[in-house]
Chains A and B, each alone.
Chain A
Amino acid sequence: MQVRSAFQEFRAAAIAMTPLIVAVMPIGLVFGAVAAAKGLTPAEVTLMSALVFAGGSQFVAMDIWTHPASWAALGFSALLVNIRHVLMSASIGSKLDSFSGPARYASMLLLADEIWAMAEMRASNGKLTPAWYAGLAVPFYCAWVLTSLTGAMLGALLGDPKLIGLDFAFPAVFIILVMGFWKGRETGAVLAASACAAVVTHQLLPGVWYIAAGAAAGVVVAVLSGGRKEAHA
């Protein structure tokens, strides 16, 4: 088998990633525009996209953003929304044989859903090299940061995103992601518990406690229903 150069690996991975890069661009633009409508400056938007690089948590942050911003509430909600990364890095972390120790940790800094999915695919039908991972991650990262900045600068021109329904883009993305996690009736129980707890908490308490309450209710139901199934088996 011919050994390919690092550059060839990088380029092939970037080409494989192209559809996902195209798909993330409008989302980056919408994020920038929503953030600008929330009163963030283009510099703040760019900084957030560059340092956080996790679309879901960034959209949630715009939902709960206040002036002045509360670092505790925003950090806590980012932790909750992104806790799935623990599972993703635990899974891909066992497939990084050709990475040096520091490279393993460095690569995880760019672990977004789309990059993770493509890296898992590569690991399952080939060899996941550092160059391949970089080819997946770096162009995607650049697209996210640059379209966020562009959206923030154009956002002021677009005016109120609610008028054209753009404020609904992220709830819509989340709804679609939830549908993707559907694995049958047990998922239904988790979702119902989460929704009920979140709505009730949202009515009663200020801030983002509704996210914690919904997440906790969903997890408790998942563990309980699993335990019951084992008892019956």
Chain B
Amino acid sequence: MTVDLDALLAILAMAVATIATRIGGLILIRYVTIGENQKRALEAIPPAVLMAVIAPTALVTGPSETIAAAATAVAATRLPLLASVAIGVISVALLRQVLGGAW
């Protein structure tokens, strides 16, 4: 059970950043009135960030990942979260067997 110093620093940096976002809203509503443009920008942040995170994996890693990503997205429109995750994981594993993967 060891903790590397660089890893500890990185974890603390993540914790500080995350805590700042969690109390940020409390501070925001005390001092700032949010107008239409600010609201629109804030609302776009979650999908924009999530899409940016998955785009390289989903679009330019290989056909297995792209097809599995599409299957997951379709599953998400009608199945609960865990079932959709299972479909994504199982389909990427099978596709990598069949197509060969970028791994």
Which residue numbers of A lie inside 8 Å of B, CB to CB? 23, 26-27, 40-44, 47-48, 51-54, 56-58, 60-61, 63, 65, 67-72, 74-76, 78-94, 104-105, 108-109, 111, 162-169, 171-182, 187, 190-191, 193-195, 197-199, 202-203, 210-219, 221-223, 226-227, 230
Can you identify 13 A-B contacts, CB atoms within 8 angstroms? A44-B7, A47-B8, A48-B14, A74-B10, A84-B46, A85-B21, A87-B25, A92-B25, A164-B89, A172-B69, A176-B72, A176-B84, A223-B41
A3 to chain B, nearest CB (A): 27
* Per-residue A-contact encoding for B32-73, CB less than 8 Å = 1, 0 else: 001011001111111111111111111110000100110011
A71 to B76, CA, bound (A): 34
B7 to chain A, nearest CB (A): 5
A85 to B26, CA, bound (A): 10
Q: Which B residues are in CB contact (< 8 Å) with A57?
A: 14, 18
A81 to chain B, nearest CB (A): 6
- Contact of A104 with B59 in the complex, beta carbons under 8 Å: no
> Which one of A26, A79, A108, A172 contacts B84 once the chains associate, using CB atoms below 8 Å?
A172
A178 to B20, CA, bound (A): 23
A44 to B54, CA, bound (A): 25
Interface of A, helix, strand, loop or mixed by DSSP: helix
- Contact of B88 with A175 in the complex, beta carbons under 8 Å: yes
Beta-carbon nearest neighbor of B79 in chain A = A176
Q: Which A residues are in CB contact (< 8 Å) with B34?
A: 90
A24 to chain B, nearest CB (A): 10
A8 to B42, CA, bound (A): 37
A93 to B10, CA, bound (A): 29
Interface of B, helix, strand, loop or mixed by DSSP: helix
- Contact of A165 with B90 in the complex, beta carbons under 8 Å: yes
A218 to B48, CA, bound (A): 5
**A57-B14, A69-B10 known; A87+B43 contact, CB < 8 A:** yes
Beta-carbon nearest neighbor of B91 in chain A = A165
Q: Which B residues are in CB contact (< 8 Å) with A52?
A: 11, 14-15, 18
- Contact of A85 with B22 in the complex, beta carbons under 8 Å: yes
- Contact of A165 with B11 in the complex, beta carbons under 8 Å: no
Q: Which A residues are in CB contact (< 8 Å) with B89?
A: 164-166, 168-169, 172
- Contact of B22 with A89 in the complex, beta carbons under 8 Å: yes
Q: Which B residues are in CB contact (< 8 Å) with A93?
A: 25-26, 29
Q: Which A residues are in CB contact (< 8 Å) with B49?
A: 80-81, 83-84, 194, 211, 214-215, 218
- Contact of A44 with B4 in the complex, beta carbons under 8 Å: yes
B101 to chain A, nearest CB (A): 8
* Per-residue A-contact encoding for B65-103, CB less than 8 Å = 1, 0 else: 100110011011100011011011111110010000101
- Contact of A181 with B2 in the complex, beta carbons under 8 Å: no
**A48-B11, A54-B18, A75-B16 known; A172+B56 contact, CB < 8 A:** no
